[in-house]
Structure formats: structure tokens, C-alpha cells
Amino acid sequence: MRQDEALDALERARAMDTKVRARGRWYAVYGIGYGLMSLVVVLTMGLTGTAMGASAAMAIVAVCLTALSVYQARQPVKPLGYARLHAWGILLWGAVYGLTVVAGMYFFPQVTAWWVPMAVLSALPTSVAGYVALRRSRSTA
Amino acid sequence: MSHPRSRLDDVIHAPVRFSIVAALASATEIEFRVLRDTVEITDSALSKQITVLEKAGYVRVSKFSVGRRTRTSLLLTPEGRTAFEQHVRALREIASGETVRIPGTE
């Protein structure tokens, strides 16, 4: 194999990588969708402070998680590294969500100054993961 | 020191198979129809090359149902990934000309 043939093959590999990574931008929709779900759920649960509010929040979670799971399962490409990105996003979200709900119920029931910023914070981990996925899908390197 | 050419993988070396493996190396999993469109070949040509890669133990094929449809998903095995990485390393060496020696300079 000659030097120019090797360069040509490497260029082809790079082109394939770019094409495949571009098909990974679906994760941005998933991550940001998950973040929005968290925002709505935390606000519903925290600001209503009633059993009805908690039930409504759980219904929103059930509908959104089903929709997001179906959306994820239908994607034809799972780009490399997304499983780890997803795991980190969900792990951080779980920690923030758990802290928000537990501390909120005991110490800040219906306190807007607690629930609103924490709802925004709980939306960040998966949204950031989605943004990272979007950046990766656009990268040509 | 052996020439990097000797480290090129015979299975991956064919241009179409190289493109297929390069695409699969960028993902955990790719559906057949998307891989076909990415590499820009026909269904039958892709099937043929996948059979070769599967026999070499480089690619794993799995089928699953989404609604009423059966979909075929492809992924690179750890052996396939290692072979591809080694192949790319050899290509980079050839491309950079690192191992090209000029007689009488040693």
C-alpha cells in the first residue's frame, strides 16, 4: 500500500465517523426532553404541595418516560460513548432530584424560593448531556 | 522493524469492508438500513460483506422487533474494534512515512 492510498483510507474512515456521529443528535432531544420533564414534575410536586399534585407529577413522569423510552428505542444509531454520557446525566439528575424532593418536603414545603431554582437545577444534568451529544454530532474531528 | 503494511488486517483491508468497519467503529450499534445508506451500497452488497466480517468474528448481527417490524442491528465485537484500531495505526504509519528508510542513512 502506498502513502497516498493510506491517506485516502484514513480520509474515508474520518468521513464515515462524521456521518455516523451526525446521526447521534437525537440524544439532544432526549436529554433536553428529560430535563423539561424534570422541571415540570418538580414544580408541580413542590408548588402544589398536595397529594393531588404528587399524583399529577407521577402521571407526567409515566407519560414522559414512556414517550422518551419509545423515542430512544426507535433510534437506528447509538453513537459511541453515549451510554456513559447517559449514565452520568441520569446519575446526577437522580442525586439532584432526590435532594430536591426529600429536603423540599421536610424543610421547604411550597416555598417557591426552594422549588423553582431546584426545578431548574434538576433539568440541567440531562440537558447538558444532550448539549454535549449535540456538540459531538456536529464535530468533524 | 516490520513494515506497517504487514500489520494491515486482510479482512478489513478491502475498501468497502474498511468503510463498513469504520462506520461501525464510531457507534455502539447501527441499524442495517442506516449502515447501507452511510456506506452507499446495496442491501445485497452489504449483506455479503457483513457475512465475511461476521465469519471473522469482527461483527455481531442481532434482530429485534419494533412494533410489527423486525430490524437488524450491527455492532463491532471487541475483536473487531481491536483489529480496526491496529489497522488504522498501520495506515497512519504508512501515511506519515515513518517507516520509510532511505538506504545508506543508517
This model of the complex carries an ipTM of 0.84
Q: Where are the alpha helices (DSSP H) in B1-106?
A: 10-13, 15-25, 32-39, 43-55, 78-96
pLDDT given at position B105? 44
- Which CATH topology does B4-95 take? Arc Repressor Mutant, subunit A (1.10.10)
CB-closest option in B23, B97, B100 to A20: B23
pLDDT given at position B1? 54
B54 inside 8 A of chain A by CB: no
Q: How confident is the model at residue B98 (pLDDT cuts 50, 70, 90)?
A: low
Q: How far apart are CA B87 and CA B71, in angstroms?
A: 30
CB proximity under 8 Å: A 13-32 to B: 13, 16-17, 19-21, 23-24
Instruction: Spell out which residues of chain A touch residue B15, defining contact as CB-CB under 8 Å.
Output: 9, 12
Q: How confident is the model at residue B69 (pLDDT cuts 50, 70, 90)?
A: confident
Q: Which neighbouring-strand residues pair with B60?
A: B75
Domains in chain B: boundaries = 4-95
In contact, B73 and B62? CB cutoff 8 Å = yes
Residue type, A138: R
Instruction: Spell out which residues of chain B touch residue A80, defining contact as CB-CB under 8 Å.
Output: 25-28
In this predicted structure, the answer to whether residue B106 has a pLDDT above a threshold of 50 is no
- The total of other beta-carbon atoms located within 10 Å of residue B95's CB is 20
Q: How far apart are CA A56 and CA B44, in angstroms?
A: 51
**Residues whose CB falls within 8 Å of the CB of residue B88, separated by 6 or more in sequence, listed in order:** A10, A13
Distance from CA of B22 to the nearest CA of A (A): 5
Residue type, A127: S
